[in-house]
Amino acid sequence: MPVRPRRATSQDVANLAGVSRSAVSLVLNDRADGNIAPDTQATIRAAARALNYTPSSVAVSLRRQRTQTIGVVTDTIASTAYGGHILIGATEVATAHGYLLLTVDTHDNPAVETVAYERLHARQVDALAFAAMGTHEHDAGPLRDAGGPAIMINCFSADASVASVSPDERTGGRRAAQRLLDAGHHDILWLGGTLDVLAARERLQGYHDAMADAGIRARDPVIGGWNIDTAYEAALAILRRPDPPTAILAANDRAAVGVALAAARCGIDIPGDLSLIGYDDDENVAPVMVPPLTTMRLPHDELGRIGMRMLIDQLSGSAPSAPAQVVVDCELIERASVAPRSS
Amino acid sequence: MPVRPRRATSQDVANLAGVSRSAVSLVLNDRADGNIAPDTQATIRAAARALNYTPSSVAVSLRRQRTQTIGVVTDTIASTAYGGHILIGATEVATAHGYLLLTVDTHDNPAVETVAYERLHARQVDALAFAAMGTHEHDAGPLRDAGGPAIMINCFSADASVASVSPDERTGGRRAAQRLLDAGHHDILWLGGTLDVLAARERLQGYHDAMADAGIRARDPVIGGWNIDTAYEAALAILRRPDPPTAILAANDRAAVGVALAAARCGIDIPGDLSLIGYDDDENVAPVMVPPLTTMRLPHDELGRIGMRMLIDQLSGSAPSAPAQVVVDCELIERASVAPRSS
DNA sequence: CTGAAAGCGCTTACAG
DNA sequence: CTGAAAGCGCTTACAG
């Protein structure tokens, strides 16, 4: 194994260039303006390059009292996929502003959450984010107590004491139902989800809003869970009845797969005999389903991007003084699982 | 907004306790042994607690020249789900050893990979890991050039110049086929994947190994892609022929969903008429499929755990001098999609 | 236009 | 048994 050479320091650069460390610092931080002779600057830059010098970020952090690091704690995102896009969006804008993310996943354990903030605080992160897998109300206490800039992504606090950004699931549910109504369907069934989940209640409420607006009686929703198997069973029972709906609004994309499986089993064609809309736009499911699934996209990348931008605004003092509660729209992705109602 | 009080420093603690900073440091690092009077120690600890003192980790890092941080760069894990479990496993053991992970995802862009190592190096991480979404051979150059402890997770270098840990996909493919053979099937079809992916070639080779050992002629494999739709089309064509196989080995779990969908469409019962095995044990698919899917589990958590352990061994100098290339077994998860061949 | 000095918050020999 | 000093690698007034 080769011996790793000691990292070059600004002193090394100064020595090589024949100047003082101050000069090196000034030049490398672009503050040499009218202070240092142009050719001296060139010499210094050359020396830095020759030594492959990078300022020690820990020394800089100590001196500036800023680490250019943002701590983000997640409840279960790192563990369960999908949510990953929140992190992608967040990373994108953090990186653009020179921040790196220090991530810790709590596996949904509140005790771990508190410890996480403490560890992150000890690491002197400049700001803190909490990002949730599923939209829900979340206790802002630990985050607020940490002091300093903070943001909640894909969740929000009841008392609005911490800024947050989350999707508008209710309008999402309404629009999905509206799409089906516009295609001429009256007999639209809500299927899937569980009512302990806020997102399900909101989406379902949106569906009810749309039906009410259209003056059409809604069917009793079938609370068929979030997974393929549970939705399959629920759908099978419904589709075998004499009066199946002509359209189904699935609580999420995986439930939609269950519906598709049940329909295939019953010889029911999608979208010929049955229109179907999902929720999430899960990249591993919706675009590759048979047929490709029309679905409401959860704006995860955007949530991450917006949240991080709000956090950076706080860091730079340009955020509004009252914590903002931002809500972002869900977009309907049209594919091939919806057809006009056959007369 | 409340003014955030300045963090307490060891000086504050020393003042409050009426001792020197050295004493504070000694006590708080448990090196006060026979040096400092027990009651003085107690006074110091009480003062630290009263001030809610935590040593500044950046000052400690500067002093000790160690950041207790490990940089991990991923190709696409953070973006695409599944692979998340590698990070879970890695985080688990890193945390247990007092390390935090600084993660950056390259979106599969080699240029970004190099930059990532540089940024991480500038942050003075103590060690570097590269984790891949799909098992493959990967250029170890950038990682090696970074110098210092390094590990490749779920991939490996051709020249073995960097330690690595990856799954034994070939044996996985063999065992899956063997399971079907043991159930009495002769007519076993490989379906799914694409041959540009190493994992597919290895799994398929394992299947061929098993068939050859059993002295049974393998069917021509159907290279039907990794997604629901492509596998569905491929399976439909096969299942409609007069001589469908009695068992299918799917290249991954999503391809298995495509097969299940096609079977449902054709009125073919799984596992009654057709046995099916997947690959991955994707938590959002396999356990919730209809029927629950028997599948080869990719040991992602374990890969992360083992990789991080190997890295920490390097850090503590207890790793073997030659970079180890560790390979870990895939486990068959028995569920309900396999039945004995009906006579 | 440049250099010497102070200081960010720690830890660790070393002198007393 | 304890305290004063050096030093980790920077940046930033400040004096020249």
Model pLDDT for residues A111-149, shown as the tens digit of each residue: 999 989 988 988 999 999 999 999 999 999 999 988 899
Q: What is the mean pLDDT of residues B312-333?
A: 94
Residue B147 binned pLDDT confidence (cut-offs 50, 70, 90): confident
Protein-to-nucleotide distance from the CA of A3 to the C1' of C14, whole angstroms = 31
Instruction: Report how far apart, in Å, the C-alpha atoms of A232 and of each of A223, A235, B264, B286 are.
Output: 12, 5, 12, 14
Paired tokens of B88:
């879970």
Place of tokens 């002295």: B215
Rg value, chain A, Cα = 27
> Is any atom of nucleic acid chain D found less than 7 Å from the CB of residue B37?
yes
Closest partner residue to B264 (CB to CB) among A61, A264, A321 is A264
In the structure, how far is the CA atom of residue B11 from the C1' atom of nucleotide D2, in angstroms?
15
pLDDT over 70 at B208, yes or no: yes
pTM beyond 0.95: no
Do residue B81 and residue A284 have CB atoms under 8 angstroms apart? Answer: yes
Say if residue B242's pLDDT is above 50.
yes
**pLDDT attached to residue A122:** 86
Q: What residue spans in chain A does CATH classification 3.40.50.2300 cover?
A: 65-167+301-328, 169-298
* A165 CB contact with strand D at below 7 Å: no
Q: Do A102 and B105 touch (CB under 8 A)?
A: no
Per CB-CB distance under 8 Å, the chain B contacts of A95 are 104
List of residues 6+ apart from B15 with CB closer than 8 A = none
Token readout for A77 is: 């995102």
Mean pLDDT estimate for chain B = 93
Six-digit token string for B217: 């002629």
Q: Measured between beta carbons, which residues in chain A are less than 8 angstroms from residue B290? A: 228-229, 232, 258, 261
DSSP state of A222: B
Distance B243 CA to D1 C1' (A): 90
What is the rounded distance in angstroms from the CA atom of residue B183 to the CA atom of residue B195? 28
B242–chain A nearest CA distance, Å = 20
The answer, yes or no, to whether residue B158 has pLDDT greater than 50, is yes
Q: What is the pLDDT of residue A154?
A: 97
The DSSP result for A265-292, as a single string, is: HHT--TTTT-EEEEEE--TTTGGGSSSP
Q: With an 8 Å Cβ cutoff, are B85 and A79 in contact?
A: yes
Among A177-186, B25-34, B318-327, where is mean pLDDT lowest? B25-34
- Reported as a single tens digit per residue, the pLDDT across B105-131 is 888 999 999 989 988 988 999 999 999
**Predicted pLDDT at A31:** 86
Please state whether strand D lies within 7 Å of residue A66 at its CB atom.
Answer: no
Average pLDDT over every residue of A94-112: 91
CA distance B84 to chain A (A): 6
Q: Tell me the nearest-neighbour CA distance from A211 into chain B, angstroms.
A: 31
User: What is the DSSP secondary-structure string of A158-200?
Assistant: TT--SEEEEE-HHHHHHHHHHHHHHTT---EEEE-B-TTSHHH
pLDDT of residue A339: 98
For the CA of B121 and the C1' of C13, the distance in angstroms is 30
Q: Which tens digits make up the pLDDT trace of A184-239? A: 999 999 999 999 999 999 999 999 999 999 999 999 999 999 999 999 999 999 99
Which two tokens mark A239? Answer: 């589709």
Tens digit of pLDDT for each residue in B245-289?
A: 999 999 999 999 999 999 999 999 999 999 999 999 999 999 999
pLDDT reported for residue A343: 63
Tokens describing residue A58: 């820990």
In chain A, what residues touch B56 (CB-CB under 8 Å)? 62, 124
pLDDT for the residue B36: 84
Residue span(s) of chain A under CATH 1.10.260 come to 10-55
The CA distances from residue B30 to A168, A269, B53, B63, B154, in Å, are 52, 71, 15, 17, 39
End-to-end CA distance of chain A: 77
d(CA A250, CA A230): 12
Residue among B78, B261, B292 minimizing CB distance to A264: B261
Q: In which region does residue B145 sit, left (phi positive, over 0), alpha (psi from -120 to 50) or beta (all else)?
A: alpha
d(CA B62, nearest CA chain A) in Å: 6
Given a cut of 80, whether residue A83 has pLDDT beyond it is: no
Provide the phi-psi class of B316: left if phi over 0, else alpha when psi is between -120 and 50, else beta: alpha
On strand D, nucleotides with any atom < 7 Å from a protein CB are 1-5, 7-14
The predicted-structure confidence for B291-311, as pLDDT tens digits, reads as follows 999 999 999 999 999 999 999
Q: Which amino acid residue lies closest to nucleotide C11, measuring CA to C1'?
A: B63
CATH of A65-167+301-328, one of 3.20.20.10, 3.30.565.10, 3.40.50.2300, 3.10.129.10: 3.40.50.2300
**CA distance linking residue B289 with residue A107, whole number of Å:** 24
Shortest Cα distance from B2 to chain A (angstroms)?
9
Which of A261, A290, A337 has the most B C-beta neighbours within 10 Å, making it the best mutation to test the interface with B?
A290
B212 in helix, strand or coil? Answer: helix
A60 Cβ contacts chain D strand, under 7 Å? yes
pLDDT of residue A96: 93
pLDDT score, position B329:
97
The two tokens of residue B28 are 């708080």
- Whether residue A279 contacts residue A253, with contact meaning beta carbons closer than 8 Å, is answered with yes
Taking an 8 Å cut-off on Cβ atoms, the answer to whether B104 and A119 are in contact is no
Residue B1 has pLDDT above 50, yes or no: no
pLDDT for the residue numbered B79: 62
Q: Does domain B10-55 have CATH number 3.40.50.300?
A: no
Mean pLDDT within A323-342:
96
Q: What is the pLDDT of residue B2?
A: 37
Q: Which of A88, A105, A123 is the closest to B91 by Cβ?
A: A105
Residue A305 identity (one-letter amino acid): R
Among the listed residues B336, B339, B329, the one whose alpha carbon sits nearest the alpha carbon of residue B175: B329
Q: Please state whether the peptide bond connecting residue B2 to the residue before it is cis, i.e. omega within 30 degrees of 0.
A: no
B170: nearest Cα among B138, B135, B194: B135
Residue B100: strand, helix, or coil: strand
A169-298, what's its fold? Rossmann fold (3.40.50)
Nearest CA in chain B to A61: B58
pLDDT band at B33 (very low <50, low <70, confident <90, very high): confident
- Rounded alpha-carbon distances, angstroms, from residue A234 to A67, A240, A273, B292: 52, 10, 18, 16
Q: Which of A4, A84, A290 sits opposite B229 (nearest CB)?
A: A290
Dihedral pair phi/psi, residue B200, rounded to 5°: -65, -45
Q: Residues with Cβ < 8 Å from B28, sequence gap 6 or more?
A: B10, B44, B45, B48, B55
A61 contact to strand D (CB, 7 A limit): no
Mean pLDDT across the stretch B45-64? 93
- How would residue A77 be classed by pLDDT, with cut points 50, 70 and 90? confident
d(CA B26, CA B13): 13
Q: DSSP per residue over B251-310, as a string?
A: SSHHHHHHHHHHHHHHT--TTTT-EEEEEE--TTTGGGSSSPPEEEEP-HHHHHHHHHHH
Query: Is the shortest CB-to-strand distance from A63 to strand D under 7 Å?
Result: yes
pLDDT given at position B218: 96
Burial class (CB in 10 A: 0-12, 13-18, 19+), A197: middle
Of the partner residues A58, A230, A292, the one whose CB lies closest to the CB of residue B61: A58
Two tokens at B147?
A: 């110098």
Q: Which residues contact A141 (CB under 8 A, 6 or more apart)?
A: none
Give Rg (Cα) of chain B: 27
Q: Cβ B260–A261 below 8 Å, yes or no?
A: yes
Average pLDDT of chain A, as a whole number: 93
Question: Which amino acid residue lies closest to nucleotide C7, measuring CA to C1'?
Answer: A63
- A and B: number of Cβ contacts within 8 A: 136
State residue B78's pLDDT score: 64
Res B320: pLDDT: 86
Q: Show which positions of strand C are touched by protein (CB under 7 A).
A: 1-5, 7-14
Instruction: Name the strand (E) or helix (H) holding A72.
Output: strand A69-74
| A342/A309: higher pLDDT | A309
C-beta separation of A304 from A90 below 8 A: yes
Measure the CA–CA gap between A291 and A270, rounded to whole angstroms. 7
Instruction: Tell me which of A105, A162, A261, A284 to substitute to probe the interface with B (most B C-beta atoms closer than 10 Å).
Output: A284
Å between B20 CA and D2 C1'?
8
| Nucleotide minimizing C1' to CA distance for residue B60 | C10
Q: Is it true that domain B65-167+300-329 has CATH number 3.40.50.2300?
A: yes
pLDDT-derived band of residue A2, with 50, 70 and 90 as boundaries? very low
B147 contacts in chain A (CB < 8 Å): 2, 4
